[in-house]
Amino acid sequence: MTLVGSRLELTIGPVAHGGHCVARTEEGQVVFVRHSLPGERVVAEVTSETAKFLRADCVEVLAASPDRVEAPCPYAGPGRCGGCDFQHVSVAAQRDLLGAVVADQLRRLAGVEVAVDVEAVPGAADGLGWRTRVRYRATPDGRLGLRKHRSHEVVPVDRCLIAAPGLADVTEHRWPGTASVEAVVSGTGERLVVVEPSGRRRPALPGIEVDGAVTDSGERLGGRTWVTERAVGRDWRVTGAGFWQVHPAAAETLADAVLEAVRPQPGEHALDLYSGVGLFSAALAEAVGPEGRVVAVEGAERAVKDARRNLRDLPQVRIVGGPVRRSLPTVESPCDVVVLDPPRTGARAEVVSRIAALGPRAVAYVACDPAALARDVATFAAHGYRLRSLRAFQLFPMTHHVECVATLAPSS
């Protein structure tokens, strides 16, 4: 007989990776509970089950944590939008939870004991109004919304509270023939929409004021196909849905942290992997100077094109287009420093081993997933590189996501 839909009275244990906390039934079965906090006594409704554990939502708080607050967003909570995990937690306490998760992943997956103090960044002190890129899903009748947790069901929303106020008001319109709409506002105030059609027909744009519109495949629908971002004293072209950090303070914060981690010197050779539109490459190039060298490797074709434009005034930068795993063997060795900012799945063993073989004196690993980071830290250790330092930043308030910059160096 299924337990889905049943209710359990539970005492909540520690936070876990993924936006939930861990509890156990009286029989010892593990329950991952969303919308709860460590130490609370709650009633939780089971939402799914496996042979090893249950998933559940906290639907009633019997004894609340002092860190619990009223969720500011009306769409947050059990059975509603799944975009935010911690709307019920004070912003400061969210940082404590994130730090505990990062430390736990490093301990369990890498065997590294480290205290993690998650740093606040400028702006969005209340955790709201920071997200400069939001992708909405469309319902069959063209309304825009966000998905429920672990579901394809779309919850229509009038306004997303973590969205930056400068975003185009895309939720005020219907989008027939559309699967999703990403609204973008750049640091310079330019506004773009990226539309994913639900069929083969060219999507029609409602009457919204934007600087440009493009399909997810790159077809121009109107105006420009890119926005201009500004960071580290430079302007950056970012085309369509190309990658750029979504918190306004993220680019500067991470660039500073990377430079602090590897401390590139004039004349050195640097490698920037998963280099995107070139943010870290530019920072490295300025540090190593005209006598140094930076090799940037990126697999996304549109990002490579943007990077060539963004970095055209830096002749010491060479851009290699292609997947990092396949392109690394073509990179000259040795190198002095390596920066990598891989996707959520991490760099993985083959890439890590190739980096270690290049013999850099320092590696800066930028990670948005603590589990992937911990697995790769363990692989680095197997190749003679230890975790020298770690910084973590609250770049995604109200969510379980956290950005880390790990510094690795040769063990001897």
So which residues are the catalytic ones?
A: 368
**For residue 62, what is the enclosing H or E element?**
strand 53-63
Residue 3 contacts by C-beta under 8 Å, 6 or more apart in sequence?
46, 49, 54
The DSSP result for 307-320, as a single string, is HHHHTTT-TTEEEE
Alpha-carbon 118 to chain mean position: 15
Helix, strand or coil for residue 85?
coil
Sign of CA dihedral 276, 277, 280, 284: positive
Taking Cα atoms as reference points, which of 185, 158, 160, 303 lies closest to residue 247? 185
| Distance separating alpha carbons of residues 390 and 381, to the nearest angstrom | 15
Residues 329, 98: Cα–Cα separation, whole Å: 36
- Which residue(s) pair with 223 in the sheet? 212
Sheet bearing 118-119, strands edge to edge = 118-119, 385-393, 403-410, 362-367, 337-340, 269-273, 293-298, 317-321
Give the three-class secondary structure for 327: helix
Q: Cα separation of 155 and 79, whole Å?
A: 9
